[in-house]
Each structure stands twice: as structure tokens, then as C-alpha cells.
Structure 1
Amino acid sequence: MRARLARVDAVLVQAIIAAALSFAHLHDVATAAGQDGWKAWAYPISVDLLLVAAWRRLRSGDGKTAAWCWFVIALVASLGANVATAGLLDLDNVPAWLRILVAGWPAIAFLGGTLLAHSAPKADLDSKVIEGQEDEPETAPEPPAQLAIGAPPERPAVPIPAALINHARKVAAEHHSRTGAQIDTPTLRARLGVPALMAEAIAAHL
């Protein structure tokens, strides 16, 4: 158990040292390229976050092409800064192309981080679909309705809008006040201009 903890501690210390050195190199390159103050400190964080996001997508097992693309971009940015500070680049006289790359990095990192964060892995989408299907209550199939022998088939229910029923009541009231008699179905149908089946259904509501 102690040996295992010792191995874990050694790996953790090594990771912290490597991250600190890479962080410092990225900061130095950003400063040399004209990014001073808090902006120079933000560049290493941006590169490392994009690297971690791409690695997590690779571990998820989905969308590996895009994940590998952004992983390589972040790795080149980090590795390039480490190599540049090894004396191969004059940090007091940074070339224009490097200034352009450093200035354009925020837009590149934002695009990569957005694509990696908002393109959900297929496994997550499948699990959401399965959860939605499990939440739906199971309904037992209803047995077919049996018609009595010799009985006439029931007419299907006709959906009547509430506004049409209110208008029919006004028409019926006007007919009753004018003639003194209740309006019949043929007259109601003629006044409303609706099919006979709908006129019968409306008359049943009056």
C-alpha cells in the first residue's frame, strides 16, 4: 500500500513540475509577443484547458477525429512555447508571424473549446433517449370494442369548437325570439352552413 502511494505521489509531483514549467514557458512567449499583464498569464491557462478538454473527449470514445485535431493544436502550442524558450528564439526580437499566432490564439481556443463542450458524445445522447423512454408509462393495449349483433354502429364523435357552439346558441336564441319555437337541426345546419353530422352534434349541445 505504501509503495503504491509512493508511486502515485511521484507521478503527481512530476505532473505538477511539468505543468509549472510549461505554464512559465507559455507565459514568457506571450509576454515576448506583446501580451503583458494578466493577458500573458491567461494564455497558458487557455492552452492547458483546451488540451484537457480534447483529452477528455478522446477518453469518451466518441468524436475522436475532432478531439485529436484540437489535442494536436493545443499540444503544438504548448510544445512550441517550450522549444522556443530553449534559446532557439530571440525573445527580445519576436518575429511578426509569432505575434500574429499569439494574438489569434484566443479565437482559436474559444472555437475549439466551444465545439468540444457543446457537441455531446453519442453515448450521452443515447442515455438521454433511454431515460426518456423509461419515464414513459406503459399502457396496456385496449381490447377491441365489440358491437352488439343487429345494433347500428355508433357514429364517431365530431369535435365541435367552443366558439362555434356559442355562435349556435346565439342563432338558436335569435330564432326562438323571432318565431317562438325551438330551432330544428335542418334550420340550424342551414344557418351555420355546416355538415349534417356536425349540425346534429351542435344541436345536442344546445
Structure 2
Amino acid sequence: MPRTALRMDAVLVQAVIAGALSFAHLHDLAAAAGQDGWKAWAYPVSVDLLLVAAWRRLRSDGPSRLAWCWFLIALIASLGANVATAGLLDLSNVPAWLRILVAAWPALAFMGGTLLVHSPADRSSTAPAPAVPDPEPVPDVESARGPAADPAPDPVDSADAAPALPPADPAPAPPPAVPVPAALVDHARKVAADHEHRTGARIDTDTLRIRLGVPPHLADAIAAQLA
């Protein structure tokens, strides 16, 4: 038999034994505190359900002060019953404060379960998104070059009676390259990868500009580097 199967069977047996003993101790304590009949059997179910609900909230939403608070309350109730029924407490003469706690437990457990189910998740421990650096100013290449000099007119042959054609306009200069910080490009790659993972399609320039919060010309330069 594989070792993994043996380990899982041992853990399952331990869980059944611990659950049965804790269930019996909670029932005995509730019965000694005046909760007889079916009410004494309902107390172990209430404690275990609150413990499971708090643990599930911790597993699904991460660390939360609300979930940890109710998890510790249910754990103390379970461990307290185990210790109290181990001979440290006279079950034939339960003190009044313990009777009050046992009688108030249903309302406390109901409030805890309601808060665990309907309260929003605590995202205070989530790391904030990295700040996008401000785009660097684009240098004005045209102003740095100065005014373009007019080309010299072609010499006109005196024998040619036709007038000389005007010189053609110079070709427009290509748009200056927009410098993009390396950190912004890395962040844009993460945003594009997350968009493609969620939607199955590559991110377009407008969506990238909105997600990064940058001007259109800077978004075009980033999209060109991501292509």
C-alpha cells in the first residue's frame, strides 16, 4: 500500500477521534449547564460550524481580523469544553457565569456566522499597485533645429525662355521618438499579460492607455515596444 494512502488514513482517523471527543465534551458541558435534551446536542454542532466557517473564510479570502477573531472564539469554546470536562470542573455544580456563557452562545454564534458570510473581505493586507511614473517631457526637435533655410534657386539658362519651376517643398521630418522609461514598459507588459489572460485577446492601445493613465502619444510608443 502506498505511503501517501497510509498517511491520509492516519490523518482521517485522528480527525474522527478528535471530532468525536470534542463533540462529546461540548455535549456534556451543555447538559451540565442546564441545556438538556436536543439542545445539548445542538451546541457541539454550533461550535464546529462556526469554527469551519471562520477557517473557510481564512482559506478563501486570506488573513482577516474578523475571521481570526471568530476562529479563536470557536476554538476557545471547543478547547474550554475539553478542559472543563477533564475533571477540573464539578459538572454537578456548574458556576453561574458558565451557565450564562452557555445560554448566550447561540446568539453569539449566529452573530459570528452572519458577519463571516455577509461582511466584505478585508483587503488591507493586499499590496498596492505600483505607481506609474510621470511621462518625461518630449523634446521639441523642430524648435531645436531652428528655421529651415530656403534652398538656393536653380540657375536659369538665358537661352531658355520658359520660367524656372518653383523648388519642391522639403519632405516632412519623421515624428520624434518618444522616450519611455523601462519601469513603465515592464509594468505595461504585466498589464498586457493580465488582459490577455483574462480576455484571451491582445490589449489594444486605447485600453492600454486607460489602464496606465498616460497620454495617447506615450501609449502608442509603449504599444510599439510591446508588439
TM-score where L is the length of structure 2:
0.53
Query: In the TM superposition, what whole-angstrom CA distance separates every residue of 1:29-64 from its partner, at most 9, and x where no partner exists?
Result: 000000011100000000000001111111123461
How far is 1:111 from its partner?
0.2
Higher helix proportion: 1
Query: In the TM superposition, what whole-angstrom CA distance separates every residue of 1:70-110 from its partner, at most 9, and x where no partner exists?
Result: 01100110000000001000000000000000000000000
Q: What does residue 212 of structure 2 align with?
A: none
Code of the aligned partner of 1:34: G
Q: Distance in 1 between matches of 2:99 and 2:63?
A: 32
Change (3 A) 1:43 1:76: same
Query: What percentage of residue pairs aligned between the two structures are identical?
Result: 76
Q: What does residue 88 of structure 1 align with?
A: 88
Q: What does residue 34 of structure 2 align with?
A: 34
Q: Distance in 1 between matches of 2:21 and 2:117?
A: 27
- Is 1:76 the counterpart of 2:76? The answer is yes
Code of the aligned partner of 1:98: L
Q: What does residue 203 of structure 1 align with?
A: none
Q: What does residue 15 of structure 2 align with?
A: 15
- Structure 2: which 5+ runs fail to align? 124-194, 200-227
TM-score where L is the length of structure 1:
0.58
SS of equivalent to 1:60: helix
Code of the aligned partner of 1:104: A
User: Aligned residue pairs: how many?
Assistant: 127
Code of the aligned partner of 2:12: L
Q: Distance in 2 between matches of 1:111 and 1:77?
A: 15
Q: Distance in 2 between matches of 1:120 and 1:19?
A: 30
Q: Distance in 1 between matches of 2:63 and 2:3?
A: 38
Q: How does 1:44-193 map to 2 (within 5 A)?
A: 44-62=44-62, 64-121=64-121
How far is 1:117 from its partner?
1.1
- Structure 1: which 5+ runs fail to align? 124-129, 135-206
Code of the aligned partner of 1:121: A
Q: Distance in 2 between matches of 1:7 and 1:121?
A: 34
Q: Distance in 2 between matches of 1:2 and 1:120?
A: 43
How far is 1:120 from its partner?
4.3
How far is 1:119 from its partner?
2.0
CA RMSD of aligned residues (A): 2.2
How far is 1:3 from its partner?
1.1
How far is 1:121 from its partner?
3.4
Q: Distance in 2 between matches of 1:16 and 1:99?
A: 28
Q: Distance in 1 between matches of 2:15 and 2:120?
A: 29
Deviates more, 1:111-120 or 1:33-42: 111-120
Structure 2 contact 64–121 (Cα < 8 Å) conserved: no
Structure 1 contact 60–121 (Cα < 8 Å) conserved: no
Change (3 A) 1:87 1:24: same
